[in-house]
Amino acid sequence: MATPPPLLSALLRLVLSDDVTGRSIHGDLDQEFRQRARRDPVAAARWYRREALSVAGHTMARAVSPAARRRRHLVSRNGSKARKGDPMLQVFLRELRYAVRTLARSPRFTLVAAFTLALGIGATSSIFSAVNGVLLRPLPYPHAERIVGLWHGAPDLGYEQFGISPGIFYHYQTENQVYEAMGLFAPTQETLTEDAAAERVQAIATTRGLFDVLGIAPLMGRTFTPDETDEGGPMVVVISHALWQRRFGGDREILGRSLRVDGTPREIIGVMPRGFDFGGANREAELWLPLRMNLETSPPGSFSFQGIARLRPGVTPEGAVAQEEALLQRIREQYADSEAFINFLDAGGFHPISHTLQEEMVGDMQRPLWILLGTVGFVLLIACANVANLFLVRAEGRQREMAVRAAMGAGRGKLASHFLVESFVLAGVGGAAGLAVAWWGLPLLLRMAPPELPRLDQISMDGRVLGFTLAVTVLAALFFGAVPILRFRIPKLLGVLRYAGRGTTEGRERHHLRNVLVVGQTALAMVLLVGSGLLVKSFWEIRRIDPGFETADLLTFGIMLPEADYPGPLETAAFHTELLDRLGALPGVRSVGAVSSLPLAQSASGTAHDIEGIPTAEGELPPMFWYKYATPGYFETMGIAVETGRVFRRSDHEGDYGNILVSQALAERIWPDQDPMGHRIRTTGDTAEVGWNTIVGVVESTRDHGLREDPIEVLYYPMVGPRVEEDYATRQLTYAIRVQNPTQLVSQVRDVVGEMDPNLPLAAIQTMDEVVSDSIVRLTFTALALGLASFMALILGAVGLYGVLSYVVNQRTQEIGVRMALGAQAGQVQGMVVASGAKLALIGLVLGMAGAGGLTRLLQGLLFGTQPLDPVTFGGMSVILLGVGLLASYLPARRAATVDPVSSMRAE
């Protein structure tokens, strides 16, 4: 049987009286809902929502309308059924009206308090929205928790995690009992031509299984059939929703049409729904192509593919790994004659790895997000402490009012409920304003967020964010509402009446609570200051690292030549050479060059190499090097220094073949005490004499994998190798142009490329400075957010300290007047007040340092060149905090020093 929407049901229970009348109304609605749900559950739920709200609204309106109250009064006198449950509501409504009126009477207090809360709650809600969207919201796939990525690791060779080879995938797929479905895929990039302008798009070449694993059906058409993903299958393509909209205007008749992908026409057989995204390379994928590969006969050692699988119900990722390990034993026997593969398995500590898709997509953003949430939680606590302090101050001023109420018979509960209702009203206003802050702030936050932050599109304010904000608001209200309640006890209040508010200095105990709050605030602010200080210092340290090239004044962009138009290495090299010449002739261009993978932006390929004269020992693996293709001019343009020998010149790909360059890091490892010049290197497995390449130069090492990673050992090939026609063709190169104002050159570059081939799109147009900032965006984002939060914390903490001291000075005006009348100097009075503020700040500082010492360890993975207990940061931040504390104390102190003894005593 259908169940009525639970939230509304709960609302009805809350609003309707608990007698036959109320319960029968609830029953009527439930019964009618169920009858309607049998015909149309969705319409029934809508109906229930409407009618439940209408009943709740009418009931509440009757309860509060004065006429209804009068009527009830008459009825009960007439002896009819009296309604129960209403008195509580009445009391609540009366308190509510009273609280609203009191708050409205002191608008300055209300505004400051609500504003403080709105900032704290708004910041917390915004960050929680991000945490919710990225970490908590489930992926949009059925039983997404059962989807895992298939990875492997060979830690002994320095490879923490890489993909899967088609050979291994084939065996896993045919022999396992743990997976329901499996898919093998590889990201590629393709150029679309025909009809519209040429365009580079991200694509995925995949087996059919990928779609089965994710459990998402195409919006239109179908995905691949088994024979389409086989070797030599028909040329088909599935396109993304975005591409369908952008390039075909959402044409309904799209299926069966043809699309030229890299020069080859393919039939469009399906359109995927919007938001079909499973992270990584797929995030921007717009095409899915069949893999067209015979998995059974493909080599077992080519790990440039990725695997994804759906676990059978009840199987854990660990269980799946155990089975893969068992299968690997059998696979090992199958390939016993492939020595290199067996060596790789044995020497590397080869083992399978499995992550759920959610873990994979969220990856290393998890920690920064939780840290940020914790941080804004601190800011909120500080804000609450401030409001609690304001409340306390205000409550002191209202002692007489409270005392009168107590004398007239109001119990402690009644007074307490008054404060609570007041704090709830205030928190409600603050919470609502906080939601508005989050509503406006969230888009700003998202603009600041790292673009690689996964699931960015999932970040929005949903029911859970609202619920969270509500919970935070209630907790905040309880926190600062409880504080004045703790302070007031009725006998004491009656004492106030007796002494009729004679001004005396408060006793120690009365200050105690406020001081505790200020110390707590200062301590929290100190923790945040240290945290953000450490991140800012890491940021500095990272920016000081030499990446191995000059980052300023460089424009970069990618070009991909389609195979259909540029079939061989000579055609591609001729194109690149001409483009280099034409770009070099542009006004202002100092030099230009191109490379197959740009440092910090793209990853080079790596493979095993044999070195002439250094044989690989039995059971050992030949050394792995990264390799790239580079044109003449690349090293000069990037500012990569030549250590020995020379860089490429035009003759290296125009007849004088077989010359290569190596990076300093490579040279130092292989020939630590020797000159590497003239030595020969060849790809492992290549046995031909023509495969040997001679080192003609050593160049500075670059940090390709990130500023905080080691420089890489890389080998540079020219665009054309000794085999000339059969060699790999450098279709994809990234160009670098050294020019004064890089961004102003973009349109001229476009024109030049367009003149040579109007079908060639430019990809990833960026300055090198942008590439570098993008590579550390996670640190930048975290540092910036934490910096912002700690700035807020510092300001709020200072306001708290200032508020308390001002109040104390006010309270002590008469005492100070007496002191000054007795001869105290202004300086002495000033010092006294500043000292009391400094004492609070110092205690908070020490506590905060202790807290920071414990908490900064959480930042470890984000820090660079800085220890979590870095004394410079701790010291520097202490100085800042104390400075701000002293300033906050100085202002009230100056006021204290100007107290006029005569008028202060006359005021008595």
Partner 1 sequence: MRRKGYLGEFEQLVLLAALRLKEEAFGPGIAAELEERAGRRVSRGALYGTLDRLEKKGFLNWTEDVGGPERSGQPMRLFQVTKEGLAALRASREAVRKLEAGLEELLGETR
The span from the CA of 148 to the CA of 183, in Å, is: 11
Strands, E assignment, 700-757: 714-717, 732-739
Site for partner 1, residues 58 to 87, rule: CB under 8 A: 58-59, 62, 71, 75, 80
Q: Which is nearer to partner 1, 30 or 228 (CB)?
A: 30
Taking the complex as a whole, the smallest distance from the CB of residue 9 to partner 1 amounts, in Å, to 8
Q: Which is nearer to partner 1, 71 or 414 (CB)?
A: 71
- Which residue of 7, 10, 18, 24 would you call a contact of partner 1, by CB under 8 A? 24
Binding of partner 1 by 28 (CB under 8 A): yes
| Residues 449-464 as b or e (16 or more Cβ within 10 Å = b) | bbeebbbeebbebeee
Q: Which is nearer to partner 1, 59 or 202 (CB)?
A: 59
Q: Which is nearer to partner 1, 54 or 825 (CB)?
A: 54
Part in contact with partner 1 (CB under 8 A); list of ranges 57-65, 166-174, 731-739, 751-759: 57-65
Angle between helices 777-811 and 412-448 (to 10 degrees): 150
Binding of partner 1 by 26 (CB under 8 A): yes
- Which residue of 18, 54, 76, 546 would you call a contact of partner 1, by CB under 8 A? 54
- Which residue of 7, 18, 31, 90 would you call a contact of partner 1, by CB under 8 A? 31
First vs last C-alpha separation in the chain: 75
Strand partners, 645: 697
Taking the complex as a whole, the smallest distance from the CB of residue 68 to partner 1 amounts, in Å, to 10
Binding of partner 1 by 707 (CB under 8 A): no
Mapped onto helix, strand or coil, the DSSP state of residue 700 is: coil
**Total site size for partner 1, rule CB under 8 A:** 29
Part in contact with partner 1 (CB under 8 A); list of ranges 54-62, 546-554, 621-629, 676-684: 54-62
The span from the CA of 890 to the CA of 898, in Å, is: 13
Q: CB 865: neighbour CB atoms within 10 A?
A: 14
Q: Which residue is listed with tokens 């360059």?
A: 661
Q: Which is nearer to partner 1, 29 or 745 (CB)?
A: 29
> How much is the CA Rg of the chain, to the nearest whole Å?
36
The span from the CA of 257 to the CA of 265, in Å, is: 10
Site string for partner 1, 421-460 (x = CB under 8 A): ----------------------------------------
Distance set, CA 706 to CA 152, 266, 474, 886 (Å): 22, 38, 44, 42
Closest by CA position to 704, among listed 597, 583, 793: 597
Binding of partner 1 by 44 (CB under 8 A): no
Site for partner 1, residues 479 to 498, rule: CB under 8 A: none
- Which residue of 7, 18, 27, 619 would you call a contact of partner 1, by CB under 8 A? 27
Q: CB 569: neighbour CB atoms within 10 A?
A: 22
Taking the complex as a whole, the smallest distance from the CB of residue 304 to partner 1 amounts, in Å, to 59
Taking the complex as a whole, the smallest distance from the CB of residue 445 to partner 1 amounts, in Å, to 41
Strand partners, 614: 611
Q: Which is nearer to partner 1, 32 or 180 (CB)?
A: 32
Taking the complex as a whole, the smallest distance from the CB of residue 807 to partner 1 amounts, in Å, to 50
Q: Which is nearer to partner 1, 28 or 452 (CB)?
A: 28
Part in contact with partner 1 (CB under 8 A); list of ranges 51-59, 281-289, 344-352, 818-826: 51-59
Distance set, CA 210 to CA 147, 438, 517 (Å): 11, 38, 56
Strand partners, 201: 190
Q: Which is nearer to partner 1, 24 or 828 (CB)?
A: 24
- Which residue of 5, 11, 25, 405 would you call a contact of partner 1, by CB under 8 A? 25
Part in contact with partner 1 (CB under 8 A); list of ranges 26-34, 373-381, 444-452, 550-558: 26-34
Part in contact with partner 1 (CB under 8 A); list of ranges 45-53, 632-640, 761-769, 832-840: 45-53
Closest by CA position to 375, among listed 120, 56, 670, 708: 120
Binding of partner 1 by 20 (CB under 8 A): yes
Part in contact with partner 1 (CB under 8 A); list of ranges 32-40, 171-179, 351-359, 768-776: 32-40
Given CA atoms 462, 463, 465, 470 in this order, what sign does their dihedral have? positive
- Which residue of 5, 11, 23, 332 would you call a contact of partner 1, by CB under 8 A? 23
Mapped onto helix, strand or coil, the DSSP state of residue 450 is: coil
Taking the complex as a whole, the smallest distance from the CB of residue 14 to partner 1 amounts, in Å, to 15
Q: Which is nearer to partner 1, 57 or 501 (CB)?
A: 57
Taking the complex as a whole, the smallest distance from the CB of residue 447 to partner 1 amounts, in Å, to 44
- Which residue of 8, 44, 45, 55 would you call a contact of partner 1, by CB under 8 A? 55
Q: What's the farthest any 2 CA atoms get from each other in the chain? A: 115
Tokens at 382, concatenated: 């500080």
Strand partners, 290: 206
Q: Which is nearer to partner 1, 29 or 647 (CB)?
A: 29
Q: Which is nearer to partner 1, 12 or 768 (CB)?
A: 12
Q: Which is nearer to partner 1, 70 or 257 (CB)?
A: 70
Cβ burial, residue 754 (10 Å; 0-12/13-18/19+): middle
Taking the complex as a whole, the smallest distance from the CB of residue 15 to partner 1 amounts, in Å, to 11
The span from the CA of 118 to the CA of 111, in Å, is: 10
Strand partners, 733: 559
Q: What is the DSSP string of 846-873?
A: HHHHHHHHHHGGGGGGG--S--TT-HHH
The span from the CA of 208 to the CA of 214, in Å, is: 11
Taking the complex as a whole, the smallest distance from the CB of residue 275 to partner 1 amounts, in Å, to 38
Part in contact with partner 1 (CB under 8 A); list of ranges 23-31, 109-117, 816-824, 827-835: 23-31
Taking the complex as a whole, the smallest distance from the CB of residue 29 to partner 1 amounts, in Å, to 7
The span from the CA of 449 to the CA of 19, in Å, is: 54
Q: Is 314 left (phi over 0), alpha (psi -120 to 50) or beta?
A: left
Taking the complex as a whole, the smallest distance from the CB of residue 513 to partner 1 amounts, in Å, to 47
Cβ contact 477:423 at 8 Å = yes
Return the HEC string of 169-212. Answer: HHHHHHHCCCEEEEEEEEEEEEEEECCCCCEEEEEEEECCHHHH
Cβ contact 675:644 at 8 Å = yes
Taking the complex as a whole, the smallest distance from the CB of residue 4 to partner 1 amounts, in Å, to 8
Strand partners, 517: none
Q: Which is nearer to partner 1, 81 or 414 (CB)?
A: 81
- Which residue of 5, 11, 49, 56 would you call a contact of partner 1, by CB under 8 A? 56
Part in contact with partner 1 (CB under 8 A); list of ranges 25-33, 160-168, 661-669, 834-842: 25-33
Cβ contact 805:812 at 8 Å = no
Tokens at 157, concatenated: 């060779």
Residues 6+ apart with CB under 8 A from 893: 805, 809, 829, 830, 831, 832, 833, 834, 837
- Which residue of 8, 29, 559, 881 would you call a contact of partner 1, by CB under 8 A? 29
Angle between helices 86-105 and 412-448 (to 10 degrees): 70
Q: Which is nearer to partner 1, 45 or 796 (CB)?
A: 45
Taking the complex as a whole, the smallest distance from the CB of residue 39 to partner 1 amounts, in Å, to 14
Structure letter (DSSP) for residue 281: G
Taking the complex as a whole, the smallest distance from the CB of residue 463 to partner 1 amounts, in Å, to 24
Part in contact with partner 1 (CB under 8 A); list of ranges 31-39, 170-178, 500-508, 890-898: 31-39
Taking the complex as a whole, the smallest distance from the CB of residue 12 to partner 1 amounts, in Å, to 10
Q: Which residues in this chain contact partner 1 in the complex, by CB under 8 A? A: 1, 4, 20-21, 23-32, 34-35, 50-51, 53-59, 62, 71, 75, 80
